[in-house]
Amino acid sequence: ALSPQKKWAKRHLSWRVRTFPKESAVLGRETVRALMYYALKVWSDITPLNFHEVAGNKADIQIDFTKADHNDGYPFDGPGGTVAHAFFPGERFTAGDTHFDDDEAWTFRSPDSHGMDLFAVAVHEFGHAIGLAHTSAIESIMRPYYQGPVGDPLKYDLPYEDKVRVWQLYGVRDSVSHTARPDASSHTDDPPVLMDLPENKSTVPPARDAPDRCTSQFDAVAQIRGEAFFFKGKYFWRLTRDRHLVSLRPTQIQRFWRGLPANLDSIDAVYERPGDHKIVFFKGMKYWVFKDNIVEEGYPRLISDFGLPIEGVDAAFVWMHNDKTYFFKDNHYWRYDDHLRHMDQGYPKDTSLWKGIPSQLDDAMRWSDSASYFFKGKEYWRVVGSDMEVEAGYPRPIGIDWLICKDMQSDAPETRNNETGSQLTGQHHTDHAENGYEVCSCTS
């Protein structure tokens, strides 16, 4: 391999696709952006690096699709031959910049014979952009020669050889176990983010009956692919993995979750199934299973499949402590094993075993802080790790902590002092929505 290259001193790097493939018949702009996002994520998942997409010309990693001689000393040569390159960190203006030959037939999820897999090449080039040089190691993604598609971007696992080399440059990301060998390591548990974000809110005028997030009592709440979804009536709000509300305006469930009956007026509970990351929706005695945001064939089915009574469920969530699925109805709860697909013996039990949790929950969910959250009315309760007792200082208001509501409405439960008598000190987000500002957050 080349002598070790320079590396980035900073850990937060911005990126932007400045020019897109001109004639690509198969790759739209959104797909190109998504593939760049996932190719960068391959490296940020295992190192302390963080990538975020920006607009404008100041991005650290400017991505271009260009042809022939494009004035950087590395002219392309038409179809085949050289297909892409990237500049190492530290090389003045071009550091990190990545160029793809627009004379190539760039593809995504196509068999090898049909062109050049953009995701595979992008992972390689971004390896250069963060400082890795070519290597002769047969397994490595940093071999100079194109070796065909590398499979599903959502499941791609870097060869161990490349992990070690990039750890030598930047160290290991805290949450990564760097002792697991590739053969032993299961695929990263990091569930894939749902690819399509809801349509741009500004193109879909809010309907009259859209609920208000600060005064609502939610029907269902779930962590789906690392993001939080709050369902109310025919609508839902979405929060990114770092708890940023994607939009103040709710999105219609029907517009995003494809395949639910058109007359469905609300949801009872939702959870993401461990193992295959499919998403299960409950309403009354029926349930639907979604792969990503599209319902699978053969649904709805009856919840008796789980061994649950047909009265339906109030809440469903997967406890991170044992990866079991818990269903709640009134003041009973069941424990179900989604890996073996059967109800555990000795259930239902009384919800009082979960000390401090109210009965008749609206829903429950696990969150990436390894805690479990229980929702009822406008409040929520937090249970840490493997405890079965509510943490001190709860309940707290959902709106203030999750949905950027400044002051709860008059009819909301007043912000009580918690046990220590101190005034609630939750995160105070100033909500500009009322005075004409739009609060928005970047989600990629």
Closest CB 93 distance from other proteins, rounded Å = 17
Q: Does residue 341 contact residue 301 with C-beta atoms inside 8 Å? A: no
Query: How many residues of this chain interact with other proteins, rule: CB under 8 A?
Result: 24
Told to check if 166 binds other proteins by CB under 8 A, we report no
Closest CB 427 distance from other proteins, rounded Å = 46
Peptide bond into 182 cis (omega under 30): no
In the set 26, 54, 133, 154, which binds other proteins (CB under 8 A)?
133
Active-site residue flag, 125: yes
Closest CB 182 distance from other proteins, rounded Å = 20
Closest CB 196 distance from other proteins, rounded Å = 31
In the set 28, 78, 80, 171, which binds other proteins (CB under 8 A)?
80
Q: In the complex with other proteins, which residue's Cβ is closer, 122 or 398?
A: 122
Query: Which residue shows structure tokens 């040089």?
Result: 133
d(CA 120, CA 332): 49
**Burial of residue 165, with CB atoms counted within 10 A of its CB: 0-12 exposed, 13-18 middle, 19 or more buried:** buried
d(CA 65, CA 124): 16
Applying CB under 8 A, the span of 53-61, 136-144, 321-329, 400-408 interacting with other proteins comes to: 136-144
Closest CB 18 distance from other proteins, rounded Å = 18
Told to check if 113 binds other proteins by CB under 8 A, we report no
The one catalytic residue in 104, 125, 227, 272 is 125
Closest CB 139 distance from other proteins, rounded Å = 11
Query: Which residue shows structure tokens 């249970």?
Result: 383
Say whether 292 sits in a helix, a strand or coil.
coil
Q: Does residue 246 contact residue 441 with C-beta atoms inside 8 Å? A: yes
Closest CB 84 distance from other proteins, rounded Å = 6
Question: Which tokens go with 139?
Answer: 């397994």
Told to check if 145 binds other proteins by CB under 8 A, we report yes
Told to check if 82 binds other proteins by CB under 8 A, we report yes
Q: In the complex with other proteins, which residue's Cβ is closer, 80 or 182?
A: 80
In the set 28, 78, 90, 144, which binds other proteins (CB under 8 A)?
144
Applying CB under 8 A, the span of 119-127, 189-197, 320-328, 407-415 interacting with other proteins comes to: 119-127
CB neighbour burial string for 240-274, b if at least 16 within 10 angstroms, e if fewer: beebbbbbbbbbbbeebbeebeeebeebbbbbbbb
Told to check if 134 binds other proteins by CB under 8 A, we report yes
Told to check if 136 binds other proteins by CB under 8 A, we report yes
Strands 106-107 and 116-117: parallel
Told to check if 111 binds other proteins by CB under 8 A, we report no
Applying CB under 8 A, the span of 18-26, 78-86, 106-114, 232-240 interacting with other proteins comes to: 78-86
Say whether 120 sits in a helix, a strand or coil.
helix
Alpha-helical segments (H) within 213-323: 253-256
d(CA 398, CA 361): 14
Return the bridge partners of 251, or none.
236
Q: Which residues contact 377 (CB under 8 A, 6 or more apart)?
A: 217, 362, 413
- Count of C-beta atoms within a 10 Å radius of residue 192: 16
Return the bridge partners of 283, or none.
286
d(CA 436, CA 364): 33
In the set 9, 55, 138, 340, which binds other proteins (CB under 8 A)?
138
Told to check if 293 binds other proteins by CB under 8 A, we report no
Q: In the complex with other proteins, which residue's Cβ is closer, 144 or 171?
A: 144
Query: Which residues are catalytically annotated?
Result: 125
Q: Using CB under 8 A as the criterion, which residues of the chain lie in contact with other proteins when the complex forms?
A: 2-3, 74, 76, 80-86, 104, 116, 121, 124-125, 128, 133-134, 136, 138, 144-146
